[in-house]
């Protein structure tokens, strides 16, 4: 008698290669229309499921977690960040939670440099000028931006992605400052200057790159008070989580000219972003593209599947188990 495969709900439409492996190894409940589940719909969709393969933004909060059927034993998120999953509530239900570290470091660091360069060199204004047929030709003072090479870069959060951003910035001969929960060993620090107090780093930042996770301590960390500590003409880049930035404060500083520009790939409350961003010519905006390469998204999916297969098919702990704090 053939053993029944565990049922797994895919909350989103994932890359074809990922869904093919999911369907081969599990009784997969797919979402080809990529419809967004709210909490009650998610609870209903998980009836009979042993696992959930979710993504950033899915409402796996305490309320949803409390309503999940007893059959659910693991939630594997297609992301490094897991603030959308209430890990403590999952632990109370004996539901394992896993994430996908390591595989999107380079892709996200690449986007951080794209945001930095796009903001510094006024890329949004340039492309808009061309696409609206308003470019009249080269002019000596046209679209003069900020030089990147040789400037000071401050990095908030020097984990894998922060370190990869620093490595890329060194190619531009940038001086690296960073703040992290713990100081890196010299071999990883690579000459960067550590600031135990992140506020002390701000005056050294011609560019500030946000690479910290979203936690209660980092919620709206980039606020008006801290922005005021940045040198006039500084540029802020955020490729981590939108909630680390106070949108009102950032928009005000971009409008006032205290900040020269910002490069942003993530937004608080996305996709419903603060309306104030749309009118800013000095904001280089991207729609959460940090991990958006075929190679990276496949790797994220395969890592999520590694966790599901280890737990549901082999009876092992997920290799990327997230522990409740």
Taking the C-alpha atoms of residue 102 and residue 46, their distance in angstroms, rounded to an integer, is 28
Question: Could you confirm whether 270 is annotated as catalytic?
Answer: yes
- Among 288, 295, 297, 309, the active-site one is 288
Query: Is the previous residue joined to 271 through a cis bond, with omega within 30 degrees of 0?
Result: yes
Sign, CA torsion 243/170/195/107: positive
Dihedral sign, Cα of residue 141, residue 143, residue 148, residue 151? positive
Q: Can you tell me which residue has the tokens 């080269």?
A: 138
Of the residues 7, 226, 241, 297, only one is catalytic, namely 241
Task: For CA atoms 172, 175, 180, 185, give the dihedral sign.
Answer: positive
* DSSP characters over 48-79: T-SEEEE-TT--BSHHHHHHS-TT--EEEESS
241 as an active site residue: the answer is yes
Q: Which residues are catalytic?
A: 241, 270, 288
């Amino acid at each position: 008698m053939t053993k029944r495969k565990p049922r797994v709900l895919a909350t989103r439409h994932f890359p074809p290669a990922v869904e093919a492996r999911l369907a081969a190894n599990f009784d997969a409940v797919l979402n080809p229309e990529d419809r967004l589940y709210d909490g009650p719909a998610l609870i209903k969709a998980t009836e009979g499921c042993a696992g959930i393969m979710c993504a950033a933004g899915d409402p796996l909060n305490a309320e949803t977690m409390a309503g999940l059927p007893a059959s659910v034993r693991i939630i594997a998120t297609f992301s490094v960040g897991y603030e959308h999953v209430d890990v403590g509530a999952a632990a109370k239900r004996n539901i394992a939670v896993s994430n996908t570290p390591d595989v999107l470091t380079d892709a996200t660091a690449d986007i951080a440099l794209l945001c930095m360069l796009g903001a510094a060199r006024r890329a949004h204004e340039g492309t808009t000028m061309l696409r609206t047929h308003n470019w009249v030709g080269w002019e000596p003072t046209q679209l003069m931006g900020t030089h990147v090479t040789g400037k000071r870069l401050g990095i908030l959060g020097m984990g894998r992605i922060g370190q990869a951003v620093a490595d890329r910035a060194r190619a531009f001969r940038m001086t690296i400052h960073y703040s992290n929960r713990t100081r890196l060993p010299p071999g990883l620090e690579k000459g960067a200057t550590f600031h135990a107090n992140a506020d002390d780093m701000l005056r050294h930042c011609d560019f500030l790159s946000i690479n910290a996770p979203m936690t209660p301590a980092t919620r709206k960390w980039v606020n008006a008070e801290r922005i005021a500590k940045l040198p006039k003409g500084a540029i802020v880049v955020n490729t981590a989580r939108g909630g680390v930035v106070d949108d009102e404060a950032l928009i005000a500083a971009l409008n006032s000219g205290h900040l020269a520009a910002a490069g942003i790939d993530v937004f608080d409350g996305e996709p419903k972003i603060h309306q104030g961003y749309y009118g800013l010519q000095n904001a280089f905006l991207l729609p959460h593209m940090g991990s958006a390469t075929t190679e990276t998204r496949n790797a994220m999916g395969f890592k999520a599947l590694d966790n599901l297969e280890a737990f549901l098919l082999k009876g092992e702990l997920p290799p990327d188990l997230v522990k409740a704090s």
